[in-house]
């Protein structure tokens, strides 16, 4: 392969690292993966092994380069908000990384909230403070420490310590940036008693950003994106009103709103959050993000906890064994409700059961419930943005379930375009890198690369679609405030 015509892609997910090559036509080659699972030493704690991530990135990248030849550039996509603190003298982490799902700093967030500082435990801010507070101060003097999300950690090692950078999409989920300046929010950083020297330089998402001297050929790093933004770009969502839905363990709807910055970083009225989608030539593009805390995890619940299915794949066949759920309704709130309600005390609800309700009806109700939660996200994004979402592009593990896709199209009541790859983050990182080096000319070029695997139209009669939506919304209302103490917590 012509080295000038492919971008080496590094995709650091929540459970694996993937590397491959994206060519000038938007095709993915030589994809390799290595499992790098987080650890949960106790409930609510999620830790990652920073060194295992570096070893996976290094070996997988070398294997791709050996197969495809020298890379023209490098693009990086990563799970957002997961945090590492390391010693700049030797590049070694001072402890485990803290995963984005980790809840150890809930108490700290509530204490800060009482002082007028609103930070969420899933953001990076309090994770950084916790790691430093629990480090050996004599062994690790503050002036030698650096912090970052996984893009910064990986880039430090790919550049052999020459570059400490992050892009706006990753900085944007730390709760530590000022949206008006797109730079660090130093008053909040100082309130956490963190020195400025800890933090990376915020750079564009695309462009000549650094050089990966640790890789053969020392290719330039020309693309950096957080995972959801990479998925957005990977599904060619580049224009105002374009939206994608990623349905994996949870679900995330991301919508491009354009160049106008949000007035505030806080959550919107209908439960969506403003996010930077990317920054190109020092000009940010903005969007909204809506979140469902449970989606594919509900299929795991059917498999691992109820024993109703032997594998996730079997959920489709079991659900398809019946023509309908026969009035059974499921609300996927196993971890609470995110957008639009943000009720951490809500819990999953299975209603409408009769003596005739069996495996098929329950499995189908679970798929329908996940589809209806996705509709919640689309509705909220439209309401908060004032934009009309004409069609939705979708990726993620659940897109391998054909029945679910048809149920999703009906629930969304609009065309559904399915990504040609299961996880579009890899394509998005490749597109970002290609834009940064000129392999792709502009965002219009990225739009022309879109080739959906399949497009689905709603097929259910509108009357029955309405009844299904009403039944779900009533069940969702009943699922709220199951645990009032948790429902009272708001970040």
Give the pTM. Answer: 0.96
* Chain length of the chain: 491
Pick among 3.30.420.40, 2.40.340.10, 3.30.70.1140, 3.30.565.10: CATH of 236-418+460-491: 3.30.420.40
Q: What are the domain boundaries of the chain?
A: 3-229, 236-418+460-491
Q: Supply the pLDDT for residue 78.
A: 98
Which pLDDT score, from 0 to 100, does residue 265 have? Answer: 82
- Averaged pLDDT, groups of 10, the chain, 491 residues long: 77 96 96 95 94 98 97 98 98 97 94 93 96 96 98 98 98 92 94 96 98 98 98 98 96 97 90 97 97 96 96 97 97 96 96 97 98 98 98 97 98 98 96 97 98 97 96 98 94 88
pLDDT of residue 56: 98
pLDDT value of residue 4 = 55
Q: What is the dihedral of CA 298, 419, 378, 204, to 10 degrees?
A: 110
pLDDT of residue 3: 47
CATH of domain 3-229: 3.30.420.40
Which residue shows structure tokens 């995890």? Answer: 297
């Amino acid at each position: 392969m012509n080295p000038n015509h492919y971008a080496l892609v590094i995709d650091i997910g929540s459970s694996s690292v993937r590397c491959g090559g994206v060519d000038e036509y938007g095709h993915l080659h030589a994809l390799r993966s290595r499992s790098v699972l987080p650890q949960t030493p106790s409930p609510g704690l999620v830790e990652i092994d920073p060194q295992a991530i570096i070893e996976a990135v290094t070996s997988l990248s070398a294997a791709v380069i050996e197969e495809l030849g020298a890379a023209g550039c490098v693009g990086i996509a990563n799970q957002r908000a997961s945090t590492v603190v390391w010693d700049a003298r030797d590049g070694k982490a001072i402890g485990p990384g803290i995963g984005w799902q980790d809840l150890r700093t809930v108490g700290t967030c509530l204490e800060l909230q009482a002082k007028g500082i609103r930070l969420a435990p899933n953001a990076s801010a309090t994770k950084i403070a916790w790691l430093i507070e629990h480090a050996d101060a004599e062994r690790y003097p503050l002036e030698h420490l650096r912090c970052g999300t996984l893009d910064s950690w990986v880039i430090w090692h790919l550049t052999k310590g020459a570059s400490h950078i992050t892009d706006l999409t990753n900085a944007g989920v730390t709760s530590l940036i000022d949206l008006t300046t797109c730079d660090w929010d130093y008053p909040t950083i100082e309130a956490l008693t963190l020195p400025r020297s800890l933090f990376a330089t915020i750079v564009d998402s695309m462009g000549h950003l650094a050089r990966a001297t640790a890789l053969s050929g020392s290719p330039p790093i020309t693309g950096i994106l957080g995972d959801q933004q990479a998925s957005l770009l990977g599904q060619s969502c580049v224009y105002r009103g374009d939206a994608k839905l990623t349905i994996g363990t949870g679900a995330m709807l991301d919508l491009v709103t354009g160049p106008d910055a949000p007035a505030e970083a806080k959550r919107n009225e209908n439960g969506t959050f403003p996010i930077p989608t990317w920054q190109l030539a020092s000009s940010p593009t903005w969007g909204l993000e809506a979140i469902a805390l449970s989606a594919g995890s509900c299929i795991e619940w059917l498999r691992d906890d109820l024993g109703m299915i032997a594998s996730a794949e079997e959920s489709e066949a079991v659900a398809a064994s019946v023509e309908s759920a026969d009035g059974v309704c499921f609300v996927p709130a196993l971890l609470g409700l995110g957008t639009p309600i943000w009720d951490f005390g809500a819990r999953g609800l299975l209603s409408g059961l009769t003596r005739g309700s069996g495996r098929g009806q329950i499995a189908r109700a679970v798929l329908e419930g996940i589809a209806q939660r996705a509709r919640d996200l689309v509705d909220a994004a439209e309401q908060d943005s004032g934009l009309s979402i004409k069609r939705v592009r979708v990726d993620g593990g659940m897109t391998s379930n054909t029945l679910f896709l048809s149920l999703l199209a009906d629930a969304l009541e609009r065309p559904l375009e399915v990504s040609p790859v299961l996880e579009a983050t890899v394509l998005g990182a490749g597109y970002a890198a290609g834009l940064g080096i000129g392999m792709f000319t502009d965002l219009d070029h990225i739009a022309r690369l879109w080739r959906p695997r399949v497009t689905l139209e709603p097929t259910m009669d509108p009357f029955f679609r309405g009844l299904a939506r009403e039944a779900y919304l009533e069940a969702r209302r009943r699922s709220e405030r199951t645990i009032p103490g948790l429902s009272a917590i708001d970040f």
